[in-house]
């Protein structure tokens, strides 16, 4: 596919002969699109742009890489061309689940809106509140934000949402996975009821369906791609491992990375801790690699992505924060350190390669405990994934690829050896039974072996009731005397002075 036929975001070419000239966009916007090298819209762009320009609500169901960002950015630029921004009251609001996606949408506005005098603000974590507040105080046409940082500004009294004309919720199913749905519902209630809503999601779980029914008004449903389809330009392979030992998995990953001609690649991990461990391991073995995940500062994440895009960084180790919607052009390989927890994420991960008609490849490391995840992926995509063998790792180290027991060969050997030692230890401590004929053959514990030295006799203490009582005179008296009250002391004179009472206090005659 040539660049002049490609759509924004590297999406696939639309099957029809519709061009951007037929969608009703303004001359200034069309000029920016054509200068970007795009001529033919993708299916979701061809269907969504005219409806957005008419003011209708949109429910778009599309996978990553279909050009849905341009499907709402291009018409929003034309809508905002007429009007003026007011202080702390944005005219449009775009919600993204991650900082990277929000920054990418901001780049699209800069690219396609360069001939329109529009202002924008990017509200994401890791950036100074003061800088963001200064932009809001001047007034912005476009507000691109993650839900958490948006609500932080609202609660500080720095933002009003009653002037929003168009609201976009992008990657809604990812919002659901990250726990943002309560925040989305709250933000919906803070915006005007008359707003235009553009809602995009790759899948439609029940919670997302409920949200669309509550906050969208007679939306135009656009389903542009077949669900869970992978590009035919991606060569997919799985590498079977004997067990879940992290050292074996990292060794297999390095062998896979060196067994093919890798120009650059993204390694996906399920956990943030694995991202850091794998990145450190690759660096120690001489790979040009760096991690990226949600716990890193935004400045570090931005710098790492810029290095990867420019070619200064060869390998990017990422969590699923980079799996969806991230536009990193010309990625040659994708490596899954382990299968994703959700089968749909596999499609998004490997979709980072093989874009815009280019060839790509993906490798997924699968241990026995990962077989259920692999089965779910193959069921979702509708075809088995070819098994691959890698050079650099001995066949004996990899074990049996068909082993589904959840343990490697070495783990089973260690288990048997431990059981054998435990059984021998129990037999050594079996007590002798003189009535059993085989008692003489039973092993005797070391502490019970015969000894020539006589054992010292144990000291037997008498019970407390048998011990002689100490002399206690009060116990020898009769019970009546012991229980009788003590006689009161004789009173004489003034209490407190005794016999030394002063003369002036003594009674007369004494």
- pLDDT for residue 469: 54
Length of the chain: 510
Distance set, CA 181 to CA 94, 177, 211 (Å): 15, 9, 9
Over range 214-220, report the average pLDDT.
Answer: 94
pLDDT digits (tens, 9 = 90+) for 119-163: 999 999 888 899 999 999 999 999 999 999 999 999 999 999 999
Over range 78-103, report the average pLDDT.
Answer: 91
Q: And the tokens for 265?
A: 């690649």
* Confidence grade of residue 58 (pLDDT, cut at 50, 70, 90): very high
What is the CATH topology of the domain spanning 234-411? Rossmann fold (3.40.50)
Does residue 423 or residue 132 have the better pLDDT?
132
3-state secondary structure of 315: strand
The CB density around residue 314, as the number of other CB atoms within 10 Å, is 18
pLDDT digits (tens, 9 = 90+) for 305-321: 889 989 999 999 998 76
Q: What is d(CA 272, CA 295) in angstroms, rounded to the nearest whole number?
A: 8
Residue 447 has pLDDT above 90, yes or no: no
DSSP letter at 371 equals H
- pLDDT for residue 266: 95
pLDDT digits (tens, 9 = 90+) for 247-256: 999 999 999 9
Please name every residue paired with 360 in a beta bridge, in sequence order, or none if there are none: 234
Find the helix or strand (DSSP H, E) in which 365 lies. Answer: strand 360-366
Residue 32 has pLDDT above 90, yes or no: yes
Please name every residue paired with 123 in a beta bridge, in sequence order, or none if there are none: 145
Over range 395-406, report the average pLDDT.
Answer: 41
Does the domain at 3-223 match CATH 3.50.50.60? Answer given as: no
Residue 378 has pLDDT above 80, yes or no: yes
Q: What is d(CA 175, CA 150) in angstroms, rounded to the nearest whole number?
A: 14
Over range 459-469, report the average pLDDT.
Answer: 54
* Confidence grade of residue 181 (pLDDT, cut at 50, 70, 90): very high
How do the domains of the chain map onto residue ranges?
3-223, 234-411
* Confidence grade of residue 174 (pLDDT, cut at 50, 70, 90): confident
Residue 436 has pLDDT above 80, yes or no: no
Q: Which residue has the tokens 């030992």?
A: 245
Going 269 to 273 to 275 to 281, the CA torsion angle's sign is: negative
pLDDT digits (tens, 9 = 90+) for 4-29: 334 444 444 434 478 999 999 999 99
> Which of 178-187, 281-290, 405-414 shows the lowest mean pLDDT across its residues?
405-414
- pLDDT for residue 163: 94
Asked if 3-223 and 234-411 have one fold, the answer is yes
Over range 39-65, report the average pLDDT.
Answer: 90
* Confidence grade of residue 343 (pLDDT, cut at 50, 70, 90): confident
Over range 378-406, report the average pLDDT.
Answer: 63
């Amino acid at each position: 596919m040539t660049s002049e036929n490609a759509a924004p975001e590297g999406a696939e070419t639309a099957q029809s002969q519709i061009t951007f000239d037929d969608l009703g966009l303004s001359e200034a916007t069309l000029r920016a699109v054509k200068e970007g090298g795009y001529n033919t819209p993708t299916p979701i762009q061809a269907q969504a742009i005219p409806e957005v320009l008419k003011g209708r609500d949109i429910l778009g169901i599309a996978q990553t890489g279909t050009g849905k960002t341009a499907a709402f950015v291009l018409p929003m630029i034309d809508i905002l061309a007429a009007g003026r921004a007011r202080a702390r009251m944005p005219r449009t609001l775009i919600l993204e689940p991650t900082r990277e996606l929000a920054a990418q949408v901001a780049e699209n506005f800069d690219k396609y809106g360069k001939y329109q005098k529009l202002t924008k603000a990017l509200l994401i974590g890791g950036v100074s509140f003061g800088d963001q507040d200064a932009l809001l105080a001047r007034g912005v046409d476009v507000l691109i934000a993650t839900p958490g940082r948006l609500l932080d500004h609202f609660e500080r009294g720095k933002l009003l949402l009653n002037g929003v004309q168009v609201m976009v919720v992008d990657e809604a199913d990812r919002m659901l996975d990250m726990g943002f749905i309560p925040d989305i519902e709250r933000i919906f209630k803070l915006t005007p009821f008359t707003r235009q809503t553009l809602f995009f999601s790759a899948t439609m779980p029940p919670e997302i369906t409920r949200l669309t029914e509550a906050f969208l008004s007679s939306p135009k449903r656009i389903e542009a791609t077949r669900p869970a389809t992978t590009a035919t330009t991606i060569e997919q392979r799985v590498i079977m491992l004997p067990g879940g030992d992290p050292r074996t998995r990292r060794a297999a990953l390095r062998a896979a990375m060196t067994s093919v001609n890798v120009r650059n690649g993204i390694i996906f991990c399920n956990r943030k801790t694995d991202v850091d461990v794998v990145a450190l391991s690759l660096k120690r073995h001489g790979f040009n690699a760096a991690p990226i995940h949600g716990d890193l500062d935004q400045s570090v994440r931005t710098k790492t992505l810029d290095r990867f895009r420019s070619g200064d960084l060869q390998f990017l180790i990422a969590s699923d924060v980079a799996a969806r919607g991230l536009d990193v052009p010309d990625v040659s390989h994708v490596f899954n350190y382990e299968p994703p927890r959700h089968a749909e994420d596999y499609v998004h991960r490997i979709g980072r390669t093989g874009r815009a008609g280019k060839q790509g490849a993906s490798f997924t490391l699968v241990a026995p405990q990962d077989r259920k995840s692999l089965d779910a992926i193959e069921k979702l995509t509708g075809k088995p994934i070819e098994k691959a063998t890698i050079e650099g790792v001995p066949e004996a180290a990899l074990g049996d690829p068909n082993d589904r027991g959840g343990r490697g060969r070495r783990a089973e050997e260690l288990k048997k050896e431990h059981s054998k030692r435990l059984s021998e230890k129990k037999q050594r401590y079996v007590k002798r039974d003189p009535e059993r004929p085989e008692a003489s053959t039973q092993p005797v514990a070391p502490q019970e072996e015969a000894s020539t030295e006589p054992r010292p006799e144990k000291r037997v203490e008498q019970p407390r009731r048998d011990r002689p009582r100490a002399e206690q005179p009060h116990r020898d008296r009769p019970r009546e005397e012991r229980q009788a009250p003590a006689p009161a002391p004789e009173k004489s004179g003034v209490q407190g002075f005794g016999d030394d009472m002063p003369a002036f206090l003594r009674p007369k005659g004494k």
